[in-house]
Each structure stands twice: as C-alpha cells, then as structure tokens.
C-alpha cells in the first residue's frame, strides 16, 4: 500500500501578538489523477527558550481573525481548481 503525502502549497498568516501568529496552511496531493486539498489552522508562538511551537488551540483574539484567513485559503483553492493547475504553487506567506 503506497502512501501519498500532502505538500504545503500556500500559507496565510497574521501577526496577532508580540510573539504569536495565526497561520492557515493549504496543502494538496494528487490522488487518482485528481488534486485534493486540506486546510489547517493553528497558532504559532515563541516559548521562553525562543523556539517556535504550534498549537491547535486558539485564543479569543485568533478566533475573531481566523475566518478571514480561512476565506482567503478557500478562495485560493477555488482559483486553483478553476485554473486546473496541475502542480502546486510554491509556499508564500502573506499577511492580511
């Protein structure tokens, strides 16, 4: 049984605090000749040691902002599907 992995094709992010960002990542894979997409939303923050951590738990500030980034991700997917793009676009972070 072969496993096909998802590849990140576009990342949307927004700074929500001094050490915190809200990130929406669009990933894609080709399965049976058709491109499948998925969207992940998470919070990235710096801990006391300075390394970055990801968390699925969002604060109230992130909850208020996540819909805008998720809409942008869904618009990106719709554009990709209407263009019939066969290869994923490079990952490019954008701030809104």
Element (H, E) at 81: helix 60-83
Global confidence as pTM: 0.77
Sign of CA dihedral 44, 46, 49, 51: positive
Q: Is residue 92's pLDDT more than 60?
A: no
pLDDT greater than 60 at residue 93: no
Kindly calculate the radius of gyration of the chain based on its CA atoms and give it in whole angstroms.
15
Q: What pLDDT sits at residue 59? A: 87
Q: What are the tokens at 49?
A: 């040691």
Say what the pLDDT of residue 96 is: 44
For the chain, give every domain's residue range.
7-83
pLDDT digits (tens, 9 = 90+) for 34-88: 999 999 999 999 988 889 999 999 988 899 999 999 999 999 999 999 987 555 4
């Amino acid at each position: 049984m072969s496993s096909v992995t998802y590849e990140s094709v576009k990342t949307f992010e927004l700074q929500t605090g001094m050490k915190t960002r809200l990130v929406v990542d669009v990933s894609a894979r080709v399965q049976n000749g058709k491109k499948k997409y998925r969207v992940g939303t998470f919070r990235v923050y710096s801990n006391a040691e300075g390394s970055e951590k990801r968390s699925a738990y969002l604060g109230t500030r992130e909850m208020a902002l996540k819909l805008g980034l998720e809409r942008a991700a869904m618009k990106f997917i719709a554009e990709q599907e209407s263009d019939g793009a066969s290869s994923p676009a490079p990952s490019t972070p954008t701030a809104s």
